[in-house]
Amino acid sequence: MIELTNINKSFGQPQVLHEVTYLFDSGKVYGIVGENGAGKTTLFRFIAGLETASGSLKSDLEPLKNNLGYLTSDPYFLSKLTGEEYIYLLTDARGKQIKNLSERNIFELPLKEYASAYSTGMKKKLALTATLLQDNNYYILDEPFNGIDLQSSIILTEIILRLKAMGKTILISSHIFSTLKDTCDEILVLETGRISKSVKKEQFGEFEEEMKEKILQKDIDKLWL
């Protein structure tokens, strides 16, 4: 469980988060959607303990940051760190001793090579692998499906559903609506730093049609004038 109450955040002007209040239950997957600049990453960074903000943050395991895995949209790696060393660095930070790493390398990454030389998709999969091997209770996945291939996308979807079955709390942002439909119990719409709408799973189809109608009002026919 993660409970947010009246979260406000400003970087000077304008305000980035406005009175964000929500209860994220254990064993559920939540999608966070919104246009670029809506405040998704700032909200994630606050929950992960990387940003300060006013308001209240509570969880059933404290401190939250020591029980949370945060996959950023663009993971960073030191230039002289191999994939294997990166995984051990993150798991050691949680006091986890990883055995048989080669057998747990489900994305078949070249773990003996420098992570900084990986492709964008490989970096994403390496960061995800390390986060999962930490065995966290909470997960924030910021655009986890961006830059990965179809096979890895299928594996990631199954991983998310498996984490849900294990009672984990998972927050996901994605611009690919089909990935949210396949994994989420609820979708929250963030607009200019406010939660403007909560959509339950049984409403996903209707919500998708609403989004299409809203987006297509921009009249793509103008491209062929």
Residue ranges of domains in the chain, CATH in brackets: 2-75+137-224 (3.40.50.300)
pLDDT along the chain (225 residues), means of 10: 97 90 97 93 96 96 94 91 96 91 95 95 95 96 93 95 97 94 97 96 94 78 75
| pLDDT for the residue numbered 12 | 79
Residue labelled with tokens 């559920």: 28
Which residues lie below 8 Å from residue 214, measured CB to CB, with a gap of 6+? none
The whole-model pTM stands at 0.93
Model pLDDT for residues 127-174, shown as the tens digit of each residue? 999 999 999 999 999 999 998 999 999 999 999 999 999 999 999 999
Predicted confidence at residue 178, as pLDDT, reads 93
User: For residue 213, which amino acid is it?
Assistant: E
pLDDT of 141 reads: 98
Quote the pLDDT of residue 144.
Answer: 95
Helix, strand or coil, per DSSP, at residue 168: coil
The DSSP output letter for 74 is S
**Dihedral (C-alpha) 182, 161, 157, 130: value to the nearest 10 degrees?**
150
β-pair partners for 32 = 173, 188
Written as one letter, the residue type at 70 is Y
What was the pLDDT predicted at 52? 95
